[in-house]
Amino acid sequence: MTDQIRYVSLLRGINVGGKNSIPMDKLQDMFSRLGFTSVKTILNSGNVCFTTKKTQLHILKELIEASILETFHSKINTFICQQSDMQKLIATKPFSSYELIATTRFYVTFLSENATDSAHKTKIPTTSFIECVSFFKNSICWKLELSNNNNTTDAMKVLENALGKNITTRNWNTVLKIATL
């Protein structure tokens, strides 16, 4: 018998700027109706932790995306990883050599493909305000320096132009919360 595995589902672009509005309690109910257990949502941005015996990520992704479309009438790209992988990412301490000051932000961008692929490394732009810090499985850790000339939205545009829209990004504090739930 397969043991239960704890997963994290990251939904791209919900509850941002009034677009793709999905209440977290209804999202949690949808995950439970799919047969997942110990379902918890984190914040209001589409972070869901759940447990299941299913082990194939692409099947989980397809099941969740189809259910979101049916339930909320929105086509939402979903990223799935084992919660233990997120904990391993945190254990690498990607930002430990950086000082967190008022203008510094730490982020993790999740890809549907393996971020350690050299092709992804060459796609990450070098700018005066974005610094790629590390790669871990399907994620890229990066640092943003805010100024009067750039902000988080600017950084997201740079990353989308480089990597495409099949990504989703969470700030480091959110990643820490998700990993401990």
What would the pLDDT profile of 111-150 be if each residue is shown by its tens digit? 876 555 555 666 676 677 888 888 888 888 999 888 888 8
pLDDT at 45 (0 to 100): 81
Query: For position 69, what pLDDT does the model report?
Result: 95
Nearest to 145 by CA among 107, 110, 96: 107
- Beta bridge partners, 110, equal 139, 168
pLDDT classification of 100: cutoffs 50, 70, 90: confident
Give the start-to-end residue ranges of the domains of the chain. Answer: 5-85, 88-180
The stretch 61-65 carries a mean pLDDT of 95
Tell me the average pLDDT across 81-97. 94
Q: With contact defined as beta carbons under 8 Å apart, do 65 and 78 qualify? A: yes
pLDDT of amino acid 172: 95
Q: Under a CB-based contact definition with an 8 Å cutoff, are residues 175 and 90 in contact?
A: yes
Average pLDDT, the chain: 87
Q: Which CATH number fits domain 5-85: 3.50.50.60, 3.30.70.1280, 3.40.47.10, 3.40.50.2300?
A: 3.30.70.1280
Query: What per-residue confidence (pLDDT) applies to 121?
Result: 62
Q: Please determine, for residue 1, whether its predicted confidence score (pLDDT) is greater than 80.
A: no
β-pairing verdict for 139-145 and 104-111: antiparallel
The mean pLDDT value for 22-50 works out to 93
* C-alpha neighbours within 13 Å on the C-beta side of residue 79: 27
The hierarchical CATH code for the domain 88-180 is: 3.30.70
**Domain 5-85 and domain 88-180 have a common topology:** yes
Compute the average pLDDT of residues 65-71.
96
User: Contact, 140 vs 111, CB < 8 A?
Assistant: yes
Q: For residue 118, what are the contacts with CB-CB under 8 A and spacing of at least 6?
A: none
Residue 134: Cβ-neighbour burial (10 angstroms; 0-12, 13-18, 19+): middle
Mean pLDDT of the 25-45 span: 93
